[in-house]
Amino acid sequence: MAKDAEKSTWKDAIWNPSTREFCGRTASSWGLILLFYLVFYIFLAGMFCLTMYVMLQTLDDHKPTWQDRLGTPGMMIRPRGDTMEINTHNTESWDMYTKTLDNFLSSYNNSLQAEKNDKCTPDQYFFQADSGDVKNNPKRSCQFNRSLLQECSGLDDHTYGYQAGKPCIIIKLNRVIGMLPGKDGQAPFVTCGAKKEDSDKIGKVAYYPENGTFNLMYYPYYGKKAQVNYSQPLVAIKFLNITLNEDINIECRIISNNIPPGSERDKFAGKVSFKLRINTKQ
């Protein structure tokens, strides 16, 4: 009898036929609970959609509303890599680097630049202001012709100096919307040197364009959507008589009167480091 009573109590806890309750609640009670949560979650979804809508109204499709960035832009090199080792007698050791530079510089071909971009006045900023609420988009971009890189353009020497043991490295600054990298008409420039332990091994370095400058006419940058044909200015570095058959630790920096020096805590802010070794032994 006790077992039957326990069994009956357990069943009644789930479904009680005498009170018509399921899990202790009647159908009307369950209906009210479900209705409450349905209304509650519809309200939450509506609040979320309204909040997202209001936030989206504050955004500009062409420019970030808020920019929280480092004061010093990063620098990148092409070909990519922390270590570059080539052998002047082994084409395979540097062929991948020349192919990388060919692909990277293809968008800078003079004919393509003339088709897409404008000839701008050098040594001054190329401002393109909006007219009140009327956006001046898409904005124009200045030509950066591949030929400006001269001996590192790959137009005359398709090996970019790698076969002769005088390799070229391409440097660019990361894009920062609205950045004005120089003041008083002074353009920022790149300088490269060996680290202390290799200071006597780097030899003479050539810069293209002249003095390794990023001309002011390529700034400010207005963003990928606003300036769809923007071509980042480049600086090419050519090592003319670097010490052979040894590892050389090299560091390149951006020098500007309007860009603060990079922080030691961020190794990519305003500088880039890499190791170069040119072997001549077969």
Task: Output the pLDDT for position 120.
Answer: 94
| Contact present, 101 and 160 (Cβ < 8 Å) | yes
Tell me which H or E stretch contains 273: strand 271-279
| Contact present, 206 and 174 (Cβ < 8 Å) | no
Reply yes or no on whether the pLDDT at 1 is more than 50.
Answer: no
Reply yes or no on whether the pLDDT at 8 is more than 60.
Answer: no
Residue 54 CA to residue 34 CA, distance in Å, equals 30
**Region 128-155 average pLDDT:** 88
pLDDT in tens, 173-224: 999 888 899 888 899 999 999 888 788 889 999 999 989 999 999 999 998 8
Task: Output the pLDDT for position 267.
Answer: 66
| Contact present, 147 and 153 (Cβ < 8 Å) | yes
Report which of residues 81 and 48 the model is more confident about: 48
Residue at 133: amino acid letter: D
pLDDT in tens, 160-170: 999 999 999 99
List beta partners, residue 254. Answer: 190
Residue at 159: amino acid letter: T
| Contact present, 278 and 84 (Cβ < 8 Å) | no
Sign of CA dihedral 110, 112, 118, 124: negative
Distant-in-sequence contacts of 194-199, Cβ < 8 A, 24+ apart: 194/248, 194/249, 194/250, 194/251, 195/249, 195/250, 195/251, 195/273, 197/249, 198/243, 198/246, 198/247, 198/248, 198/249, 198/250
No. of helices (H) and no. of strands (E), the chain: 4, 10
DSSP 228-260: TT-----EEEEESSPPTTSEEEEEEEEE-SSSP
Mean pLDDT across the chain:
87
Reply yes or no on whether the pLDDT at 4 is more than 70.
Answer: no
- Given phi > 0 = left and psi -120 to 50 = alpha, else beta, which region is 81? left
Q: Which residue has the tokens 């620098």?
A: 75
pLDDT in tens, 104-136: 999 999 999 999 999 999 999 999 988 777 677
**Region 96-107 average pLDDT:** 95
Reply yes or no on whether the pLDDT at 6 is more than 80.
Answer: no
Please count the other Cβ atoms lying within 10 Å of the Cβ belonging to residue 94: 23
pTM exceeds 0.75, yes or no: yes
Q: Which of 88, 237, 211, 240 is nearest to 152 (CA)?
A: 237
Reply yes or no on whether the pLDDT at 11 is more than 70.
Answer: no
